[in-house]
Chains A and B, each alone.
Chain A
Amino acid sequence: MFFPAYAGDGQILKGVTVTATIREGTLETAIREIHKITKVTFAYDKQLLSSYKIAGCVFSKEPLDNVLQKLLQDKSLGYEEVNNVIVIRKKAQPRVVHAGVHVARRDTVISGVVIDDNNKPMSGVSVGVSGSPTMTSTDANGRYKIIVESDSAVLIFSNVGYAQQEVPVGNQVTINIRMRPGVGKELEEVAVVAFGKQRKISLVGAQSSLNVSELKQPSANLSAMLAGRISGVIGVQRSGEPGKSGADVWIRGISTFGSGNSTSPLILVDGVERDFNNIDPEDVESFTILKDASGTAVYGVRGANGVVLVKTKSGKIGKPTIFLDYNEGVNTFTKIPEMMDGVNYMRLANEAKTTRNQDPIYSQDYIDKTVSGLDPLLYPNVDWLDAVLNKTGHIRRANVNASGGVQNAQYYVSLSYYEEGSFLKTDNLQKFNSSLKYRRYNFTTNVNLKLTSTTRLDVNLKGYFSNLNGPALSTQDIFQSAMDAAPVIYPVMYPGGFVPGLSPNGGFRNPYADLTTRGFRGSNINEINSNVRITQDLPFITKGLNFTAMAAFDNHNEQNTNRGKRENTYFINLDYPYNPDGSINLKPSYFSPNPYLGYSRDNNGKRLFYSEGAINYDRGFDRHHVTGLALFYASSKQDAFGDYMTSIPERYVGLAGRVMYSYDDRYFAEFNLGYNGSELFSPSNRYGVFPAGGIGWVISNENFFAGLKRSVNFLKLRYSNGMVGLGSVNDANLRFLYLDKMNSGASGYAFGNFNGVTGVSITRYSSNVKWATSNKQDLGLEVKTMDNQLSLIVDLFKEHRKGIFLPRASNVAFMGLTEQQYGNLGVVDNKGIDATVEYNTKIGRVSLGLRGSITYNKDVLLQNDMPPQDYPWMNRTGHNILARYGYIADELFVDQKDIDDHPVPGGDKSKILPGDIRYKDLNGDNKIDNYDMAYIGRGDVPSTVYGLGFNLGYAGFNLAVFFQGLANCDRFINGDGINPFTAEQSNVFAIANDRWTPENPSQHAFYPRLAYGNADNFNNYQTSSWWVKDIGFVRLKTAQLSYNLPTTFLSKWGVKNAAIYAQGLNLLTFSKFKLWDPELNVSGGNNNNGTAYPNVRTITMGVNFKF
């Protein structure tokens, strides 16, 4: 036995007697038991001791020395008493002292007290020495003692629910610490990485994780919570419709273009490709995004757009904890379009005609009668959005979960309910329920079992059932018809529930009737996800080696039913509007072919089977640390509800490997390799190799840095470089591009006596494409300063993606191809920066946390297979991927001479008047045509996303506020309503009051001179910069005020913790764009007129209890 020279006098070992019944278990539990009984402080490596089995035994007034001797019998462990602490550790090997190298060694006992926020001592806090297995924990009074071998050692204090702290020892012998709360901070010790976990300090790649408590917001979809909170994510929420409010999320922007090429990241929930939107936030343990090649190369052809890793919670050893959370609130729209009232609508419609020397549409008499409002049936004046929208909707959420466990088994079970109602109106006259409501039930069961001392089994089962009820027509349709219908066309309803309508073919649909009378739809979605993992340690082969295998099975099914009808419409008989008895005289205007509820359905289903097997190696040798991973996986996903092609399963197989080496926690190197293939490509092109490497340097652990360590607590530089692939397509039509594609249902012809022959045509010739590859580089800097209160992580990134598969834009139409051929043609560069800054401090009883993040990317299209254009401004290359192109609106024509002097699109000036838009003739050929189309906007995906939030705590109160901002994005507005009077009798936005008129010939008016009808509006509604509007915004995304009830008050009810809180979502928005919610997307392309379910502002109140 080797005992250090300074061994104490053995007072405790000899003086303390033990009376105890030790049950069979591990050595660690036995020592803990003895500690509990004797109050003697022990110091040991918990993991080490846990690995020793002991048999049960009984001690009666035995000296501690004897007890330990008995317990440690036959084990390569020794013990000693050092300054009243009993240290148990490995029997040390005789130290080899190399010639010329003198290792400064000064074993010192450090002691101190750990207290919490309220200055109360904390028991059970782990205290360890960085880079060595020495470990202890604090006693009931918060005291600890630990031995360090030199004054360059760093103590690590950690506890569940608190921020980990690292303190350099220096020449101190007493170190007192205050632990600060920080949910999820235990993960800082280990970070989630591809196919596993890794010590955070050893990361060489760029990844960021989210404080999961920030996910708990009144929204059904996690994706809506990400933008601004997590650096590297660009996210936009396109709709607020209950059950469909997921956001579009990109990691470090978009680096791919072309139809079918997915821009979305790979999302893995518990290691399997799954949607994360329908997970209850309470069940999320960690949320991590992998941004660079070193993190994603192992995913090969799936990784180029970044990877999102979501892990659900699992149980922890300890007494059962039950958590209850309930909240309820109201939602309303953030912003809805403001439409023109009927009277002004008619005045403007008349102006649109008369300002171009045409006869007005509405007579003064008609307008006057509408103004009077005396006969709204004959002279209607309707705000259609008002007619279809209530002021508020309703939202409710509840979660109950229980967790706990013993040494060999831990569990986490959770059940959640989410309900969101809409603010769409319903009609009491209808016998069916068309109210738009979304409900979701989630469950999660995670069980971790230790089958033998070296075998673990983890079973994870979760899923959800959701139900959506709503009007038969899609909300998009309803909002669109609200834009189509003029405010004066007909009233909301005629008395007796007769639906007003004008057109004999049913056109100019009544928005209110569309919403309330046309039936209802239901959608039920059930999804089950299951994971079973078995892990076998292989110490008998070599230490640190284990084998793990996982199988996952998911099933998703969806039943959508629609019971729809269309009612006959009526219109007032203008000649004899009222019958002699005073009742309204209606005549039918449209006979519906389906006046009774019909039925249609649509089923969908998916199953996924995933399996992986891996060998892991993780071992430290002195200052060297080596880990390795070799993994095989296969994934098959099938959606059998499509057609012949789409029902063929999507499959991946692959190998992933990783080798990591670190030295002394100062130098880190990592190499990753992905080798995988997918069914998309021809057998000769099916597999690819994707290598990536990275290096890291923790400068603050260098000896020369010791002097600076007090001011800069942590400093790390890292760099990674590697290749990732992208072989996934999101368009089933583009699968199997290596095969000829024939269309056996093409247009045909008839011969003779109308004998129709269905056509067969070549849709596409085979082309030997493969995946796109992306070279990614990342340079990161991590700094902690001001006693670890301020931390900063900055990453610079650069990506070069090539071989993006695209249709050959250089192909001419006269080649006669039905679809353009695909090739690996596109090249994109993307670079940018993302950063997170965090500051946590405490001033007296006030705690303050600040967190900010920013993501900026600049993507540049380098090649898209378009030949050089005639003029430089026509080139798509050199601009960002989603850039918009069109004419550049110069200003509005001033006078006839101005018109005579400048060309107009189409060349016909007969309809052009002052106040119409004048476009720049870029090539000076005195024509406005495609040669004058240039870059006019970036598109609706921002280049910059930022967030800033703070947390303020005082005596149980906590206020958390988060602002989110998007910048450098724009929307091209067009469509019915926003382009007034382009379609006859369509609705008009109130902003049409801001227009050019001869009386007020403002160049800054929102609209040029009005015109009525398509032809007269031809000039002004060209795709031009005039209609590109900045949609950048800053919004108060969330705010939460909570109060933790005093524990003393609650403990008699068995409640450990209770809080009440109020939270709000999308509370305030500041944007130059005022027409509708700036984030809101509509059906894209030709319909950017705000016709989508608005984003919602939600305010909820809630309580939670912990038992």
Chain B
Amino acid sequence: MNKTLYFLLVISSLTIASCKKYLSQVPEENLTLDKTFQTWPTANQFLANVYTRVPDEYGQRDPGGDHNAGLWTCASDEAELTWQNRRTNNLNNGSWDALTDIVGSYWSSYYQGIRAASVFLQRADGINGISQEQIRQHKAEARALRAIFYFHLMRIYGPVVLMGERPVPVDTSLQVPRSSYDECTSYVADELQKASQDLPLQYSDVNQDGGRLTKGVALAIRAQALMYAASPLFNGNTDYAALKNKDGKQLIGQAYDAGKWATAAGAYRDFIAQFVPSVYDLNIDRTNGVIDAYMSCKNAVIKDWNKEAIFVRVSNSIGPWQYALTPFHEGAPGGNDSRGGTAIDPTQNMVDAFFTANGRSIDDPLSGYQNSGYSVFQAPLDDQARSIYNPWTNREPRFYVNITYSKSLWLNTQNGKIYTDFTKNGNSGHSKTSNDYSRTGYTARKAMGFGKWDFNNRTLPLLRLAEVYLNYAECLNESDPGNPDILKYLNLIRERAGIPLYGSADIAAPASQDEMRTALRKERRVELAFENNRFFDVRRWKIAEQTDNGPMYGLSIDSDLPDFTKVVVFENRVFKKQHYLFPIPANDVTNDRQLVQNTGW
């Protein structure tokens, strides 16, 4: 009896004695924030996570996410997304508001990137194992990224909240107002300017560091931010007269200031002077010394590290994007290699925007455009002439770079030739598939390579020199109409595209500022087609109420020939004044009493 008792007492006292350690079993060796910034490999991983917020525009099937995949292509008048249950459709039919997930997704993701960049800036000085110079450069990357994220937010939401240099404390309830659009712009411009000083012109080993931010990226986006600030949406836009903070501060300037265009034009002029042609130049492929316009335009987008690319995203959703670009191709050789989702469907509006081979719009009587009938025609890339519907013959090379139309030869010929057919009973027609048919009778081709769609290693150009030229020309035309640079840079684009230059014997130069504006917009629409500019361009020009509202046209996909080519309305889109800017996510407007909602939401 006493033995038992003794035994029990010993056991229990042992248990109690060890109880302090009993609960202290915490994983001390786990990665912490402090440890992350002790060595470069983990700090680099942290920086890579900041980079992740750079938009992965090819991921439009599932927009948003921490890679900020866009939804811009099919939410503009360029195209329609075949898959109807995607967010682009909410934007197109007006069924979205401040609670819609995608509205919150970009907002929080870019701000997460902004915070992470600030944390990096705050702690990078303590990184061991790399030089002070390297630290300076990586900090500049973080600084530039942070400014770029602000710029993306501003394109989407207008004036935003500026969070300052250091990450804000976490256990607080912030009550801060938005800054005005001009304040945001100057912050972004200053930050990019500052960052550019520590960024390299180029990386010595592009195979190692390609895709990291450079001086050129920082300054090109700086100019872009200035151009946005000069554009009608943010420059004297009285539609936003009521957009004021609670203290009455006007968030979008109400007086038009043409000087903003001049500032932007200056930034572009400096950029071109500094980087062209030493660092950047238009991608031009020549065959026997002659410009091969088709391959030049194609390679400008699909050739890694070509000289035209300024800002590229190395890892991206090229595979899913190519799947979406590839038509269904039932029964085609190669099986899944050439069988895709038929998902990015150019509208007839977009198809009609391409010039004819002689560089004119199709509604120009001199264009020679025929709206019916068939001709024997050999398209670029095709090895034989075939009977093609007239509207798809004799168009400019960029038409063939960008549009897959019925009876066109598919890019991937590795397993044999495939001629895409969108008619009802064609290999990619509506009768063949209930999900993966084109809603317009076309699919897009931008950035489609020549092999199978299931391919993952190709860079995504987010900004290329052609856009810089067009932006420069636009800024000049608004601030200094008649400046010869306008025509010069516009014609550089046309020259590469293989169409007659304005002011040449074939076609007159636009005479007035207005005519030039129209010409620039037309050129831009086709040069940058499906590159996520159109969505924002029509907004900053304040023409979206015309371009993105009402009927969208396509072909009669539920018919075979001949009725197939009849142009019909496939969708009526909804664009109202409020849609120029996304709403601020409802939850933040509720939580931050200083945060005012965008007008109309």
Q: Which of chain B's residues 306-357 have a Cβ closer than 8 Å to chain A?
A: 314-315, 328, 339
Contact call B212/A1018, Cβ cutoff below 8 A: no
Q: Does B389 contact A (CB under 8 A)?
A: no
Interfacial chain A residues near B22, Cβ < 8 Å = 634, 636, 651, 653
Which of B84, B99, B116, B587 meets A1014, CB within 8 Å? B84
Interfacial chain B residues near A742, Cβ < 8 Å = 30-33, 36
Contact call B52/A749, Cβ cutoff below 8 A: yes
Q: Does B397 contact A (CB under 8 A)?
A: no
Contact call A823/B11, Cβ cutoff below 8 A: no
Contact call A644/B27, Cβ cutoff below 8 A: yes
Contact call A817/B170, Cβ cutoff below 8 A: yes
Interfacial chain A residues near B339, Cβ < 8 Å = 504
Give B471 Cβ to nearest chain A Cβ, in Å: 26
Contact call B52/A759, Cβ cutoff below 8 A: yes
Contact call B52/A808, Cβ cutoff below 8 A: no
* Most chain A CB within a 10 A radius of its CB, from B51, B205, B585, B591: B591
Q: Does B576 contact A (CB under 8 A)?
A: yes
Interfacial chain A residues near B1, Cβ < 8 Å = 452, 454-455, 536
Which of B119, B163, B590 meets A870, CB within 8 Å? B590
Given contacts A821-B170, A867-B591, contact A507 B315 (CB under 8 A): no
In the bound complex, CA of A870 to CA of B596 (Å): 12
Q: Which of chain A's residues 518-561 have a Cβ closer than 8 Å to chain B?
A: 534, 536, 538, 547, 549
In the bound complex, CA of A817 to CA of B591 (Å): 15
In the bound complex, CA of A580 to CA of B27 (Å): 73
Q: Does B588 contact A (CB under 8 A)?
A: yes
Q: Does A648 contact B (CB under 8 A)?
A: yes
Interfacial chain B residues near A502, Cβ < 8 Å = 434
Give B93 Cβ to nearest chain A Cβ, in Å: 5
Interfacial chain B residues near A1018, Cβ < 8 Å = 93, 95
Q: Does B42 contact A (CB under 8 A)?
A: yes
Contact call B95/A905, Cβ cutoff below 8 A: yes
Q: Does A372 contact B (CB under 8 A)?
A: no
Interfacial chain A residues near B42, Cβ < 8 Å = 760
Q: Does A762 contact B (CB under 8 A)?
A: yes
Given contacts A751-B210, A758-B45, contact A907 B94 (CB under 8 A): yes
Q: Does A99 contact B (CB under 8 A)?
A: no
In the bound complex, CA of A686 to CA of B24 (Å): 10
Measured CB to CB, the nearest residue on chain B to A736 is B26
Contact call A814/B163, Cβ cutoff below 8 A: yes
In the bound complex, CA of A183 to CA of B466 (Å): 89
Give B427 Cβ to nearest chain A Cβ, in Å: 12
Given contacts A759-B48, A908-B93, contact A813 B457 (CB under 8 A): no
In the bound complex, CA of A930 to CA of B115 (Å): 28
In the bound complex, CA of A985 to CA of B206 (Å): 50
Which of A651, A653, A767, A815 meets B115, CB within 8 Å? A815
Contact call B435/A813, Cβ cutoff below 8 A: no
Interfacial chain A residues near B205, Cβ < 8 Å = 752
Contact call B210/A816, Cβ cutoff below 8 A: no
Measured CB to CB, the nearest residue on chain B to A741 is B30
Q: Does A810 contact B (CB under 8 A)?
A: yes
* Most chain A CB within a 10 A radius of its CB, from B23, B93, B171, B590: B23
Given contacts A536-B1, A754-B314, A929-B98, contact A813 B104 (CB under 8 A): yes
Interfacial chain A residues near B8, Cβ < 8 Å = 534, 536, 547, 549, 613
Q: Does B462 contact A (CB under 8 A)?
A: no
Measured CB to CB, the nearest residue on chain A to B89 is A1015
Give B491 Cβ to nearest chain A Cβ, in Å: 35
Interfacial chain B residues near A818, Cβ < 8 Å = 112
Q: Does B545 contact A (CB under 8 A)?
A: no
Report the interface size for chain A: residues with CB under 8 A from the other chain: 87
Interfacial chain B residues near A752, Cβ < 8 Å = 203, 205-211, 314
Given contacts A536-B1, A742-B30, contact A930 B89 (CB under 8 A): no
Interfacial chain B residues near A808, Cβ < 8 Å = 171, 173
Which of A505, A613, A760, A815 meets B49, CB within 8 Å? A760
Report the interface size for chain B: residues with CB under 8 A from the other chain: 91
Q: Which of chain A's residues 741-780 have a Cβ closer than 8 Å to chain B?
A: 742, 744, 746-762, 765, 767
Measured CB to CB, the nearest residue on chain A to B43 is A760
In the bound complex, CA of A594 to CA of B210 (Å): 39
Give A536 Cβ to nearest chain B Cβ, in Å: 5
Q: Does A811 contact B (CB under 8 A)?
A: yes
Given contacts A536-B5, A679-B25, A821-B171, contact A813 B107 (CB under 8 A): yes
Contact call B173/A750, Cβ cutoff below 8 A: no
Q: Which of the segments B12-20, B236-244, B274-282, B363-371 contacts the partner chain?
A: B12-20
In the bound complex, CA of A1078 to CA of B111 (Å): 43
Q: Which of chain B's residues 116-131 have a Cβ closer than 8 Å to chain A?
A: 116, 119
In the bound complex, CA of A256 to CA of B435 (Å): 44
In the bound complex, CA of A686 to CA of B19 (Å): 12
Measured CB to CB, the nearest residue on chain B to A1017 is B95
Interfacial chain A residues near B168, Cβ < 8 Å = 815
Give A874 Cβ to nearest chain B Cβ, in Å: 8
Given contacts A547-B5, A632-B16, A749-B314, contact A816 B587 (CB under 8 A): no
Contact call B208/A751, Cβ cutoff below 8 A: yes
Q: Does A260 contact B (CB under 8 A)?
A: no
Could you mark each residue 149-169 of chain B with 1 if its beta carbon is under 8 Å from any beta carbon of chain A, else 0?
A: 000000000001101000110
In the bound complex, CA of A874 to CA of B589 (Å): 13
Give B400 Cβ to nearest chain A Cβ, in Å: 28
Given contacts A644-B30, A811-B591, A867-B173, contact A749 B25 (CB under 8 A): no
In the bound complex, CA of A645 to CA of B28 (Å): 11
Q: Does A844 contact B (CB under 8 A)?
A: no
Q: Which of chain A's residues 898-934 have a Cβ closer than 8 Å to chain B?
A: 905-908, 910-911, 929-930
In the bound complex, CA of A740 to CA of B119 (Å): 14
Q: Does A866 contact B (CB under 8 A)?
A: yes
Contact call B52/A906, Cβ cutoff below 8 A: no
Measured CB to CB, the nearest residue on chain B to A635 is B22
In the bound complex, CA of A870 to CA of B586 (Å): 11
Q: Does A739 contact B (CB under 8 A)?
A: yes
Q: Does B536 contact A (CB under 8 A)?
A: no
In the bound complex, CA of A452 to CA of B85 (Å): 76
In the bound complex, CA of A736 to CA of B48 (Å): 27
Measured CB to CB, the nearest residue on chain B to A742 is B31
Could you mark each residue 234-264 of chain B with 1 if its beta carbon is under 8 Å from any beta carbon of chain A, else 0?
A: 0000000000000000000000000000000
Q: Does B436 contact A (CB under 8 A)?
A: yes
Measured CB to CB, the nearest residue on chain B to A748 is B48
Q: Does B67 contact A (CB under 8 A)?
A: yes
Which of A455, A507, A678, A867 meets B23, CB within 8 Å? A678
Q: Which of chain B's residues 23-82 have a Cβ closer than 8 Å to chain A?
A: 23-27, 30-33, 36, 42, 44-46, 48-49, 51-52, 54, 66-67
In the bound complex, CA of A908 to CA of B575 (Å): 9
Contact call A746/B107, Cβ cutoff below 8 A: no
Which of A611, A634, A653, A751 meets B314, CB within 8 Å? A751
Listed A/B pairs (30) with beta-carbon separation below 8 Å: A451-B4, A455-B1, A503-B434, A505-B436, A536-B1, A632-B12, A651-B22, A651-B23, A742-B32, A747-B49, A748-B51, A749-B315, A750-B211, A752-B207, A754-B457, A760-B42, A808-B171, A814-B160, A814-B592, A815-B111, A815-B170, A816-B113, A816-B163, A821-B171, A866-B591, A907-B94, A929-B97, A930-B97, A984-B434, A985-B434
Q: Which 3 A-B pairs have the closest CB atoms?
A: A816-B115, A759-B49, A750-B315
Q: What residues of chain B have their CB less than 8 Å away from a CB belonging to chain A?
A: 1, 4-5, 8, 11-12, 15-16, 19, 22-27, 30-33, 36, 42, 44-46, 48-49, 51-52, 54, 66-67, 84-85, 89, 93-99, 104, 107-108, 111-116, 119, 160-161, 163, 167-168, 170-171, 173-174, 203, 205-212, 314-315, 328, 339, 433-436, 457, 572, 574, 576, 585-588, 590-593, 595, 601
> With A760-B36, A813-B104, A813-B111 given, can you name 16 additional A-B contacts, CB distance below 8 Å?
A451-B4, A455-B4, A502-B434, A538-B5, A653-B23, A679-B23, A683-B23, A742-B31, A749-B315, A750-B314, A752-B207, A752-B211, A811-B174, A823-B171, A930-B590, A1014-B84
